Chain A
Protein backbone atom coordinates (compact mmCIF):
# COMPACT_ATOMS: atom_id res chain seq x y z
CA UNK A 1 0.00 0.00 0.00
CA UNK A 2 2.72 2.46 0.93
CA UNK A 3 4.44 2.64 -2.42
CA UNK A 4 4.77 5.70 -4.58
CA UNK A 5 4.60 5.49 -8.34
CA UNK A 6 7.05 7.52 -10.37
CA UNK A 7 4.23 9.95 -11.07
CA UNK A 8 3.74 10.49 -7.36
CA UNK A 9 7.48 10.97 -6.82
CA UNK A 10 7.31 13.63 -9.53
CA UNK A 11 4.47 15.33 -7.66
CA UNK A 12 6.41 15.27 -4.38
CA UNK A 13 9.57 16.63 -5.97
CA UNK A 14 7.57 19.31 -7.78
CA UNK A 15 5.82 20.34 -4.56
CA UNK A 16 9.18 20.83 -2.85
CA UNK A 17 10.57 22.78 -5.79
CA UNK A 18 7.56 25.08 -6.05
CA UNK A 19 7.39 25.71 -2.29
CA UNK A 20 11.13 26.40 -2.07
CA UNK A 21 11.08 28.71 -5.08
CA UNK A 22 8.05 30.63 -3.84
CA UNK A 23 9.55 31.04 -0.36
CA UNK A 24 13.05 32.06 -1.45
CA UNK A 25 11.87 34.46 -4.15
CA UNK A 26 9.36 36.27 -1.98
CA UNK A 27 11.41 36.38 1.24
CA UNK A 28 13.29 39.58 0.27
CA UNK A 29 10.11 41.21 -1.01
CA UNK A 30 8.23 40.21 2.13
CA UNK A 31 11.03 41.56 4.29
CA UNK A 32 10.91 44.87 2.44
CA UNK A 33 7.15 45.21 2.68
CA UNK A 34 7.19 44.25 6.36
CA UNK A 35 9.87 46.87 7.01
CA UNK A 36 7.78 49.46 5.20
CA UNK A 37 4.65 48.59 7.14
CA UNK A 38 6.48 48.47 10.49
CA UNK A 39 8.69 51.55 10.35
CA UNK A 40 7.74 53.92 7.58
CA UNK A 41 5.09 56.49 8.29
CA UNK A 42 3.09 57.52 5.24
CA UNK A 43 -0.58 58.34 4.85
CA UNK A 44 -2.60 55.58 3.29
CA UNK A 45 -0.43 52.84 4.75
CA UNK A 46 -3.51 50.94 5.82
CA UNK A 47 -4.48 50.64 2.17
CA UNK A 48 -1.27 48.77 1.42
CA UNK A 49 -1.80 46.71 4.53
CA UNK A 50 -5.26 45.74 3.31
CA UNK A 51 -3.92 44.83 -0.11
CA UNK A 52 -1.19 42.66 1.36
CA UNK A 53 -3.66 40.86 3.61
CA UNK A 54 -6.21 40.36 0.84
CA UNK A 55 -5.02 36.92 -0.34
CA UNK A 56 -5.30 35.75 3.26
CA UNK A 57 -9.04 36.41 3.45
CA UNK A 58 -10.02 35.67 -0.12
CA UNK A 59 -10.84 32.10 -1.05
CA UNK A 60 -7.76 30.71 -2.84
CA UNK A 61 -9.88 29.89 -5.88
CA UNK A 62 -10.76 33.58 -6.18
CA UNK A 63 -7.09 34.51 -5.91
CA UNK A 64 -6.29 31.95 -8.61
CA UNK A 65 -9.04 33.26 -10.87
CA UNK A 66 -7.92 36.87 -10.50
CA UNK A 67 -4.35 35.83 -11.28
CA UNK A 68 -5.65 33.97 -14.33
CA UNK A 69 -7.46 37.06 -15.53
CA UNK A 70 -4.25 39.00 -15.02
CA UNK A 71 -1.76 36.62 -16.62
CA UNK A 72 -3.98 34.81 -19.10
CA UNK A 73 -3.87 35.07 -22.87
CA UNK A 74 -6.80 37.44 -22.87
CA UNK A 75 -5.75 39.17 -19.65
CA UNK A 76 -3.95 42.37 -18.75
CA UNK A 77 -0.44 40.98 -18.97
CA UNK A 78 -1.32 38.60 -21.79
CA UNK A 79 -0.05 40.64 -24.73
CA UNK A 80 3.09 41.74 -22.84
CA UNK A 81 3.99 38.18 -21.87
CA UNK A 82 3.35 37.00 -25.39
CA UNK A 83 5.68 39.67 -26.76
CA UNK A 84 8.52 38.20 -24.70
CA UNK A 85 7.34 34.64 -25.40
CA UNK A 86 6.76 34.08 -21.68
CA UNK A 87 4.00 31.94 -20.27
CA UNK A 88 2.58 31.88 -16.78
CA UNK A 89 -0.66 29.94 -17.12
CA UNK A 90 -0.13 26.18 -17.06
CA UNK A 91 3.55 26.42 -16.23
CA UNK A 92 5.61 25.85 -13.10
CA UNK A 93 6.08 29.62 -12.96
CA UNK A 94 2.33 29.86 -12.56
CA UNK A 95 2.39 27.37 -9.69
CA UNK A 96 5.17 29.36 -7.99
CA UNK A 97 3.28 32.64 -8.46
CA UNK A 98 0.07 31.14 -7.08
CA UNK A 99 1.88 29.82 -3.98
CA UNK A 100 3.78 33.07 -3.57
CA UNK A 101 0.68 35.28 -3.71
CA UNK A 102 -1.30 33.10 -1.34
CA UNK A 103 1.54 32.77 1.17
CA UNK A 104 2.71 36.38 1.04
CA UNK A 105 0.39 37.75 3.75
CA UNK A 106 1.59 35.07 6.16
CA UNK A 107 5.22 35.96 5.49
CA UNK A 108 4.70 39.69 5.89
CA UNK A 109 2.59 39.29 9.00
CA UNK A 110 5.16 37.14 10.79
CA UNK A 111 8.11 39.37 9.89
CA UNK A 112 6.25 42.52 10.78
CA UNK A 113 5.37 41.25 14.25
CA UNK A 114 9.01 40.40 14.79
CA UNK A 115 10.11 43.83 13.63
CA UNK A 116 7.60 45.64 15.80
CA UNK A 117 8.91 43.73 18.79
CA UNK A 118 12.39 45.16 18.35
CA UNK A 119 13.16 47.60 21.11
CA UNK A 120 13.09 51.00 19.38
CA UNK A 121 15.96 52.13 21.56
CA UNK A 122 18.37 49.91 19.65
CA UNK A 123 17.36 51.50 16.38
CA UNK A 124 17.50 55.00 17.81
CA UNK A 125 20.90 54.32 19.34
CA UNK A 126 22.16 53.04 16.03
CA UNK A 127 20.91 56.12 14.21
CA UNK A 128 22.31 58.55 16.78
CA UNK A 129 25.67 56.79 16.48
CA UNK A 130 25.69 57.70 12.81
CA UNK A 131 24.49 54.55 11.01
CA UNK A 132 22.50 55.19 7.87
CA UNK A 133 19.11 53.61 7.28
CA UNK A 134 20.48 50.74 5.22
CA UNK A 135 23.23 50.03 7.74
CA UNK A 136 20.68 49.99 10.57
CA UNK A 137 18.48 47.71 8.54
CA UNK A 138 21.19 45.18 7.84
CA UNK A 139 23.05 45.19 11.12
CA UNK A 140 20.34 45.87 13.69
CA UNK A 141 16.89 45.12 12.31
CA UNK A 142 17.72 42.05 10.27
CA UNK A 143 19.50 40.08 13.00
CA UNK A 144 16.93 41.04 15.61
CA UNK A 145 14.03 40.01 13.42
CA UNK A 146 15.73 36.95 11.99
CA UNK A 147 13.68 34.49 14.01
CA UNK A 148 10.50 36.16 12.80
CA UNK A 149 11.77 35.98 9.23
CA UNK A 150 12.45 32.29 9.73
CA UNK A 151 8.98 31.77 11.17
CA UNK A 152 7.44 33.62 8.24
CA UNK A 153 9.37 31.60 5.71
CA UNK A 154 8.37 28.38 7.44
CA UNK A 155 4.72 29.37 7.35
CA UNK A 156 5.02 30.32 3.71
CA UNK A 157 6.77 27.06 2.79
CA UNK A 158 4.19 24.96 4.60
CA UNK A 159 1.35 26.95 3.03
CA UNK A 160 2.86 26.44 -0.41
CA UNK A 161 3.10 22.69 0.14
CA UNK A 162 -0.63 22.67 0.75
CA UNK A 163 -1.74 25.23 -1.82
CA UNK A 164 -4.49 23.90 -4.07
CA UNK A 165 -7.21 26.35 -5.20
CA UNK A 166 -5.10 29.06 -6.76
CA UNK A 167 -2.64 26.54 -8.19
CA UNK A 168 -5.22 24.45 -9.99
CA UNK A 169 -6.82 27.52 -11.58
CA UNK A 170 -3.68 29.35 -12.61
CA UNK A 171 -1.25 26.53 -13.21
CA UNK A 172 -3.64 23.74 -14.08
CA UNK A 173 -3.16 20.05 -13.40
CA UNK A 174 -0.20 18.96 -15.53
CA UNK A 175 1.64 15.91 -14.24
CA UNK A 176 5.33 16.65 -14.04
CA UNK A 177 4.93 20.38 -14.51
CA UNK A 178 2.33 21.72 -12.10
CA UNK A 179 0.77 18.68 -10.41
CA UNK A 180 1.84 19.22 -6.84
CA UNK A 181 0.94 16.87 -3.98
CA UNK A 182 -2.50 18.43 -3.25
CA UNK A 183 -3.44 18.26 -6.93
CA UNK A 184 -2.29 14.66 -7.14
CA UNK A 185 -4.33 13.76 -4.05
CA UNK A 186 -7.35 15.51 -5.59
CA UNK A 187 -6.93 13.43 -8.75
CA UNK A 188 -6.81 10.24 -6.72
CA UNK A 189 -9.82 11.13 -4.60
CA UNK A 190 -11.79 11.51 -7.82
CA UNK A 191 -10.74 8.09 -9.02
CA UNK A 192 -12.73 5.09 -7.90
CA UNK A 193 -10.18 2.82 -6.24
CA UNK A 194 -7.63 5.57 -5.75
CA UNK A 195 -7.99 5.77 -1.98
CA UNK A 196 -4.81 3.95 -0.97
CA UNK A 197 -2.70 6.15 -3.23
CA UNK A 198 -4.41 9.29 -1.96
CA UNK A 199 -3.68 8.19 1.61
CA UNK A 200 -0.05 7.46 0.80
CA UNK A 201 0.40 10.96 -0.57
CA UNK A 202 -1.37 12.39 2.47
CA UNK A 203 1.17 10.67 4.71
CA UNK A 204 4.01 12.08 2.61
CA UNK A 205 2.50 15.54 2.92
CA UNK A 206 2.19 15.23 6.69
CA UNK A 207 5.77 14.00 6.93
CA UNK A 208 7.12 16.99 5.01
CA UNK A 209 5.07 19.49 7.00
CA UNK A 210 6.40 17.98 10.23
CA UNK A 211 9.97 17.98 8.91
CA UNK A 212 9.73 21.65 7.96
CA UNK A 213 8.34 22.62 11.35
CA UNK A 214 10.99 20.65 13.25
CA UNK A 215 13.81 22.05 11.11
CA UNK A 216 12.57 25.58 11.55
CA UNK A 217 12.22 25.08 15.29
CA UNK A 218 15.78 23.76 15.57
CA UNK A 219 17.17 26.63 13.50
CA UNK A 220 15.28 29.15 15.57
CA UNK A 221 16.55 27.72 18.85
CA UNK A 222 20.14 27.53 17.65
CA UNK A 223 19.97 31.15 16.51
CA UNK A 224 18.61 32.23 19.87
CA UNK A 225 21.37 30.30 21.62
CA UNK A 226 24.03 31.98 19.48
CA UNK A 227 22.71 35.49 19.88
CA UNK A 228 22.44 35.05 23.64
CA UNK A 229 26.20 34.65 23.94
Chain B
Protein backbone atom coordinates (compact mmCIF):
# COMPACT_ATOMS: atom_id res chain seq x y z
CA UNK B 1 0.00 0.00 0.00
CA UNK B 2 2.82 2.38 0.89
CA UNK B 3 4.53 1.77 -2.45
CA UNK B 4 1.34 2.59 -4.32
CA UNK B 5 0.91 5.85 -2.42
CA UNK B 6 4.48 6.85 -3.17
CA UNK B 7 3.66 6.68 -6.88
CA UNK B 8 0.08 7.86 -6.67
CA UNK B 9 0.51 11.00 -4.61
CA UNK B 10 3.08 12.69 -6.88
CA UNK B 11 0.94 11.78 -9.91
CA UNK B 12 -2.10 13.40 -8.36
CA UNK B 13 0.04 16.39 -7.44
CA UNK B 14 1.22 16.61 -11.03
CA UNK B 15 -2.36 16.53 -12.28
CA UNK B 16 -3.36 19.30 -9.91
CA UNK B 17 -0.49 21.41 -11.21
CA UNK B 18 -1.96 21.25 -14.70
CA UNK B 19 -5.39 22.41 -13.72
CA UNK B 20 -5.69 25.97 -14.88
CA UNK B 21 -7.74 28.09 -12.57
CA UNK B 22 -10.65 29.69 -14.41
CA UNK B 23 -9.76 33.31 -14.52
CA UNK B 24 -12.59 35.70 -13.92
CA UNK B 25 -11.51 37.80 -16.89
CA UNK B 26 -11.62 34.94 -19.38
CA UNK B 27 -14.61 34.92 -21.69
CA UNK B 28 -15.36 31.86 -23.78
CA UNK B 29 -17.33 32.59 -26.93
CA UNK B 30 -18.90 30.28 -29.50
CA UNK B 31 -19.30 32.05 -32.82
CA UNK B 32 -20.78 31.11 -36.19
CA UNK B 33 -18.02 30.37 -38.69
CA UNK B 34 -18.92 33.19 -41.06
CA UNK B 35 -18.16 35.77 -38.35
CA UNK B 36 -14.63 34.49 -37.81
CA UNK B 37 -12.51 37.29 -39.24
CA UNK B 38 -14.73 40.12 -38.05
CA UNK B 39 -15.00 38.75 -34.51
CA UNK B 40 -11.26 38.13 -34.33
CA UNK B 41 -10.68 41.78 -35.10
CA UNK B 42 -13.37 42.91 -32.65
CA UNK B 43 -11.83 40.68 -29.99
CA UNK B 44 -8.39 42.17 -30.62
CA UNK B 45 -9.83 45.67 -30.28
CA UNK B 46 -11.61 44.71 -27.04
CA UNK B 47 -8.51 43.16 -25.50
CA UNK B 48 -6.46 46.19 -26.50
CA UNK B 49 -8.75 48.58 -24.66
CA UNK B 50 -9.34 46.14 -21.79
CA UNK B 51 -6.02 44.56 -20.90
CA UNK B 52 -6.33 41.75 -18.37
CA UNK B 53 -9.27 40.27 -20.26
CA UNK B 54 -8.89 37.31 -22.53
CA UNK B 55 -11.37 35.99 -25.04
CA UNK B 56 -11.27 32.34 -26.03
CA UNK B 57 -13.11 31.93 -29.36
CA UNK B 58 -14.61 28.75 -30.74
CA UNK B 59 -15.76 28.92 -34.38
CA UNK B 60 -17.97 26.43 -36.14
CA UNK B 61 -21.32 25.94 -37.79
CA UNK B 62 -24.11 27.31 -35.60
CA UNK B 63 -25.79 23.93 -35.36
CA UNK B 64 -22.72 22.09 -34.13
CA UNK B 65 -21.96 24.91 -31.67
CA UNK B 66 -25.49 24.71 -30.26
CA UNK B 67 -25.06 20.97 -29.94
CA UNK B 68 -21.78 21.44 -28.06
CA UNK B 69 -23.36 23.88 -25.61
CA UNK B 70 -26.25 21.51 -24.93
CA UNK B 71 -23.73 18.74 -24.23
CA UNK B 72 -22.08 20.96 -21.64
CA UNK B 73 -19.26 22.68 -23.50
CA UNK B 74 -18.18 25.81 -21.64
CA UNK B 75 -19.35 28.96 -23.36
CA UNK B 76 -20.35 32.36 -22.05
CA UNK B 77 -21.62 33.92 -25.25
CA UNK B 78 -23.08 32.38 -28.39
CA UNK B 79 -23.67 34.01 -31.75
CA UNK B 80 -25.71 31.95 -34.20
CA UNK B 81 -26.36 32.62 -37.88
CA UNK B 82 -29.82 31.17 -37.50
CA UNK B 83 -32.43 32.20 -34.90
CA UNK B 84 -33.57 28.56 -34.62
CA UNK B 85 -30.46 27.47 -32.72
CA UNK B 86 -30.78 30.29 -30.21
CA UNK B 87 -34.43 29.34 -29.62
CA UNK B 88 -33.34 25.74 -29.22
CA UNK B 89 -30.84 26.71 -26.53
CA UNK B 90 -33.39 28.92 -24.77
CA UNK B 91 -35.80 25.97 -24.75
CA UNK B 92 -33.07 23.72 -23.32
CA UNK B 93 -32.47 26.27 -20.61
CA UNK B 94 -28.90 27.04 -21.62
CA UNK B 95 -29.47 30.63 -22.70
CA UNK B 96 -31.51 33.27 -20.94
CA UNK B 97 -34.13 34.82 -23.19
CA UNK B 98 -33.54 38.38 -21.94
CA UNK B 99 -29.95 38.39 -23.12
CA UNK B 100 -30.91 37.51 -26.69
CA UNK B 101 -30.62 40.25 -29.28
CA UNK B 102 -29.92 40.67 -32.97
CA UNK B 103 -26.23 41.11 -33.64
CA UNK B 104 -26.07 41.80 -37.36
CA UNK B 105 -27.25 40.58 -40.74
CA UNK B 106 -25.75 39.13 -43.88
CA UNK B 107 -26.61 38.51 -47.50
CA UNK B 108 -26.57 35.15 -49.27
CA UNK B 109 -24.67 35.01 -52.55
CA UNK B 110 -23.53 32.39 -55.02
CA UNK B 111 -19.81 32.42 -55.69
CA UNK B 112 -17.65 30.50 -58.07
CA UNK B 113 -15.05 30.72 -60.82
CA UNK B 114 -15.68 33.18 -63.60
CA UNK B 115 -16.29 30.31 -66.02
CA UNK B 116 -19.62 29.55 -64.37
CA UNK B 117 -22.43 31.71 -65.80
CA UNK B 118 -25.49 32.23 -63.69
CA UNK B 119 -28.13 34.84 -64.25
CA UNK B 120 -30.88 33.37 -62.10
CA UNK B 121 -31.31 30.58 -59.58
CA UNK B 122 -32.98 28.39 -62.20
CA UNK B 123 -29.65 28.30 -64.07
CA UNK B 124 -28.17 26.32 -61.19
CA UNK B 125 -29.97 23.23 -62.44
CA UNK B 126 -27.49 23.15 -65.34
CA UNK B 127 -24.44 22.88 -63.08
CA UNK B 128 -22.74 19.62 -62.14
CA UNK B 129 -21.73 20.26 -58.57
CA UNK B 130 -22.76 22.90 -56.04
CA UNK B 131 -21.42 23.24 -52.51
CA UNK B 132 -23.70 24.31 -49.66
CA UNK B 133 -23.32 24.04 -45.92
CA UNK B 134 -25.15 20.95 -44.70
CA UNK B 135 -28.70 22.22 -44.07
CA UNK B 136 -28.88 19.98 -41.00
CA UNK B 137 -26.43 22.16 -39.09
CA UNK B 138 -25.23 25.10 -41.19
CA UNK B 139 -27.55 28.13 -41.41
CA UNK B 140 -26.02 29.24 -44.71
CA UNK B 141 -27.06 25.86 -46.09
CA UNK B 142 -30.56 26.28 -44.66
CA UNK B 143 -30.95 29.69 -46.28
CA UNK B 144 -29.58 28.28 -49.54
CA UNK B 145 -32.07 25.41 -49.37
CA UNK B 146 -34.91 27.88 -48.76
CA UNK B 147 -33.86 29.97 -51.75
CA UNK B 148 -33.54 26.92 -53.99
CA UNK B 149 -36.93 25.60 -52.84
CA UNK B 150 -38.44 28.98 -53.67
CA UNK B 151 -36.90 28.72 -57.12
CA UNK B 152 -38.21 25.17 -57.46
CA UNK B 153 -34.85 23.54 -58.13
CA UNK B 154 -33.88 22.06 -54.78
CA UNK B 155 -35.61 18.71 -55.06
CA UNK B 156 -34.16 18.12 -58.52
CA UNK B 157 -30.63 19.08 -57.47
CA UNK B 158 -30.73 16.93 -54.35
CA UNK B 159 -32.15 13.95 -56.23
CA UNK B 160 -29.43 14.12 -58.86
CA UNK B 161 -26.77 14.20 -56.10
CA UNK B 162 -25.33 17.50 -57.22
CA UNK B 163 -25.12 19.05 -53.76
CA UNK B 164 -21.89 18.71 -51.81
CA UNK B 165 -22.47 19.15 -48.09
CA UNK B 166 -19.83 21.22 -46.34
CA UNK B 167 -19.48 21.26 -42.57
CA UNK B 168 -19.66 25.05 -42.44
CA UNK B 169 -19.87 27.99 -44.79
CA UNK B 170 -16.10 28.46 -44.93
CA UNK B 171 -15.62 24.91 -46.18
CA UNK B 172 -18.20 25.53 -48.92
CA UNK B 173 -16.20 28.58 -49.95
CA UNK B 174 -13.02 26.50 -49.95
CA UNK B 175 -14.56 23.95 -52.31
CA UNK B 176 -15.45 26.75 -54.72
CA UNK B 177 -12.01 28.31 -54.41
CA UNK B 178 -10.34 24.99 -55.13
CA UNK B 179 -12.56 24.56 -58.18
CA UNK B 180 -13.82 21.19 -56.96
CA UNK B 181 -17.34 22.53 -57.40
CA UNK B 182 -18.77 24.96 -59.93
CA UNK B 183 -20.09 27.26 -57.26
CA UNK B 184 -21.08 27.56 -53.63
CA UNK B 185 -23.70 29.34 -51.57
CA UNK B 186 -21.90 31.53 -49.06
CA UNK B 187 -22.47 34.86 -47.40
CA UNK B 188 -21.40 38.06 -49.09
CA UNK B 189 -18.86 38.59 -46.31
CA UNK B 190 -17.20 35.25 -47.10
CA UNK B 191 -17.23 36.00 -50.82
CA UNK B 192 -15.23 39.16 -50.20
CA UNK B 193 -12.51 37.00 -48.64
CA UNK B 194 -12.43 34.47 -51.46
CA UNK B 195 -9.15 33.99 -53.29
CA UNK B 196 -10.23 32.53 -56.61
CA UNK B 197 -13.94 33.06 -56.72
CA UNK B 198 -16.18 35.97 -57.52
CA UNK B 199 -19.78 36.71 -56.68
CA UNK B 200 -21.77 35.29 -59.55
CA UNK B 201 -25.25 35.99 -58.25
CA UNK B 202 -26.75 37.79 -55.27
CA UNK B 203 -29.76 35.93 -53.97
CA UNK B 204 -32.77 38.29 -53.87
CA UNK B 205 -33.94 39.05 -50.36
CA UNK B 206 -37.39 37.57 -50.72
CA UNK B 207 -36.28 34.03 -51.48
CA UNK B 208 -35.31 33.16 -47.92
CA UNK B 209 -35.61 34.43 -44.35
CA UNK B 210 -33.35 37.36 -43.69
CA UNK B 211 -29.96 36.17 -42.53
CA UNK B 212 -29.92 37.31 -38.91
CA UNK B 213 -27.19 36.64 -36.45
CA UNK B 214 -28.63 36.32 -32.96
CA UNK B 215 -26.52 36.73 -29.88
CA UNK B 216 -27.20 35.31 -26.45
CA UNK B 217 -25.44 34.91 -23.11
CA UNK B 218 -25.44 31.52 -21.45
CA UNK B 219 -26.32 31.04 -17.79
CA UNK B 220 -22.60 31.10 -16.92
CA UNK B 221 -21.97 34.11 -19.13
CA UNK B 222 -24.74 36.08 -17.47
CA UNK B 223 -22.94 35.78 -14.14
CA UNK B 224 -19.61 36.95 -15.54
CA UNK B 225 -19.01 40.67 -15.64
CA UNK B 226 -16.34 40.21 -18.32
CA UNK B 227 -18.85 38.48 -20.57
CA UNK B 228 -21.41 41.24 -20.09
CA UNK B 229 -18.71 43.82 -20.83
CA UNK B 230 -17.83 42.03 -24.05
CA UNK B 231 -21.51 41.85 -24.96
CA UNK B 232 -21.76 45.61 -24.51
CA UNK B 233 -18.64 46.10 -26.62
CA UNK B 234 -20.18 44.00 -29.38
CA UNK B 235 -23.09 46.41 -29.52
CA UNK B 236 -20.85 49.47 -29.55
CA UNK B 237 -19.73 51.71 -32.42
CA UNK B 238 -16.26 50.16 -32.75
CA UNK B 239 -17.71 46.68 -33.31
CA UNK B 240 -20.28 48.01 -35.80
CA UNK B 241 -17.53 49.78 -37.72
CA UNK B 242 -15.55 46.54 -37.99
CA UNK B 243 -18.63 44.58 -39.06
CA UNK B 244 -19.39 47.09 -41.79
CA UNK B 245 -15.79 46.92 -42.94
CA UNK B 246 -16.14 43.18 -43.51
CA UNK B 247 -19.33 43.64 -45.49
CA UNK B 248 -21.99 42.71 -42.96
CA UNK B 249 -25.46 44.10 -43.41
CA UNK B 250 -25.74 46.17 -40.24
CA UNK B 251 -28.59 48.42 -41.18
CA UNK B 252 -32.30 47.80 -41.17
CA UNK B 253 -34.77 46.40 -38.66
CA UNK B 254 -35.82 42.90 -37.79
CA UNK B 255 -38.72 42.70 -40.21
CA UNK B 256 -36.36 42.25 -43.10
CA UNK B 257 -36.66 45.69 -44.57
CA UNK B 258 -33.53 47.69 -45.14
Contacts and interface: CB of A to CB of B under 8 A. Distances in A.
B137 A191 contact: yes
A189 interface: yes
A74 B174 CA distance: 13
A73 interface: yes
B90 to A, nearest CB: 12
Nearest to B89: A192
A190 B164 contact: no
B193 interface: no
B63 interface: yes
A27 B165 CA distance: 31
Interface stretch (A33-41, A115-123, A170-178): A170-178
Nearest to A75: B178
B166 A192 contact: no
Interface in B121-176: 129, 134, 136-137, 158, 161, 163-167, 175
B88 interface: yes
A28 interface: no
Interface residues of B, number: 24
A127 B102 CA distance: 81
Interface stretch (B4-12, B16-24, B64-72, B244-252): B64-72
Contact of A187 (B66, B88, B136, B164): B136
A89 interface: yes
B161 A176 contact: yes
Q: How large is the interface on A (under 10, 10 to 19, 20 to 34, 35 or more residues)?
A: 20 to 34
B251 to A, nearest CB: 30
Given A73-B179, A172-B175, A173-B167, A187 B161 contact: no
Interface in B30-85: 61, 63-64, 66-67, 70, 85
B161 A192 contact: no
A90 interface: yes
A193 B88 CA distance: 9
B154 to A, nearest CB: 13
Interface in A83-97: 89-90
B180 A190 contact: no
B165 A90 contact: no
Contact of B134 (A72, A89, A173, A192): A173
B165 A173 contact: yes
B199 interface: no
Nearest to A195: B67
A26 interface: no
B158 A175 contact: yes
Contacts, number: 60
A179 interface: yes
A194 interface: yes
B217 interface: no
B181 interface: yes
Max chain B C-beta neighbours (<10 A), residue from A72, A187, A188: A187
B63 A72 contact: no
A89 B67 contact: no
B180 A173 contact: no
A73 B178 contact: yes
Nearest to B67: A192
Given A72-B180, A90-B180, A175-B158, A190 B163 contact: no
Contact of B165 (A73, A187, A189): A187
Contacts of A191: 63, 67, 136-137
Nearest to B158: A175
Contacts of A193: 88
B180 A174 contact: no
Contacts of B167: 173, 190
27 contacts: A72-B178, A72-B180, A73-B178, A73-B180, A74-B178, A74-B179, A90-B180, A90-B181, A172-B175, A172-B180, A173-B134, A173-B165, A174-B165, A175-B158, A175-B161, A175-B165, A176-B161, A187-B134, A190-B61, A190-B64, A190-B136, A191-B67, A191-B136, A191-B137, A192-B85, A193-B88, A194-B136
Interface of B: 61, 63-64, 66-67, 70, 85, 88, 129, 134, 136-137, 158, 161, 163-167, 175, 178-181
* CB-based closest 7 A-B pairs: A190-B64, A190-B137, A173-B165, A191-B136, A73-B179, A176-B161, A177-B161
Given A72-B178, A173-B166, A192-B88, 11 more contacts: A72-B180, A74-B178, A90-B181, A173-B164, A173-B167, A174-B164, A190-B63, A190-B67, A191-B67, A191-B137, A192-B70
